[in-house]
Copies of this chain bind each other. A is one copy, B any other.
Amino acid sequence: MRICFIGDSYVTGTGDETCQGWVGRLSAMERQAGHDITPYNLGVRGQTSRDIALRWHAETRPRLEGRHDGGVVLSFGVNDCTSTAHGQSRVPHDEAIATTQRIVQQARQSWPVLMIGPPPVGRPCPDGRTQALSHAMAGICAQLSVPFLPVWEPLLAHPTWCTEIARGDGAHPAGGGYAALARIIHDWPAWRKWMGPLP
């Protein structure tokens, strides 16, 4: 499969000393298990749902158009929830929901779609907002029959994710955190349906 991974700095792998991030680590696991995967990492640092709405289709088209083996994985939301100088969300909750709904709805008209929820950083702000957005995204995806993986709770409980964030730039983990996230997605039944069963 050729898969466009569309999102923010967590998709890019900011902070990972190997520059692989979860997309690269997950793809390497699959390729080494004999699954044919071409990952296109379309994460951009700092982007909100608003920014992603403007570019996801133009960037996906030249990579997947006319192919029968394409797929789209969406993952964003933390930047929507971080605070402006006035203490408000960069993107208001209702707008983030409506934009996410539009992106998911349009993407699934052309390609199989999966969505990975936004992760925690280990501080009340933006985590409170992010958790609420993750729940709302799950609802949107359920309505549209798009598999959604909430990673907020498992990453908050994971011994590595928030510890590495606190030791790092305060927003991104290092390689250990990304490896943990890659493993969670690797074992997700909806992802396994794309790649084939575990050996």
Contacts and interface: CB of A to CB of B under 8 A. Distances in A.
Interface residues of A, number: 27
Contact of A19 (B14, B31, B44, B47): B31
Nearest to A55: B62
Contacts of A39: 19
A46 to B, nearest CB: 10
Interface of A: 2, 12, 14, 17-20, 24, 27-28, 31-32, 37-41, 44-45, 47, 51, 54-55, 58-59, 62-63
Rank and list the top 4 A-B pairs by shortest CB-CB distance, nearest first: A19-B27, A19-B28, A18-B28, A19-B24
19 contacts: A2-B45, A12-B40, A14-B38, A17-B28, A17-B32, A18-B20, A18-B24, A18-B31, A19-B28, A24-B24, A40-B41, A40-B44, A41-B41, A44-B62, A44-B63, A54-B62, A55-B59, A58-B58, A58-B59
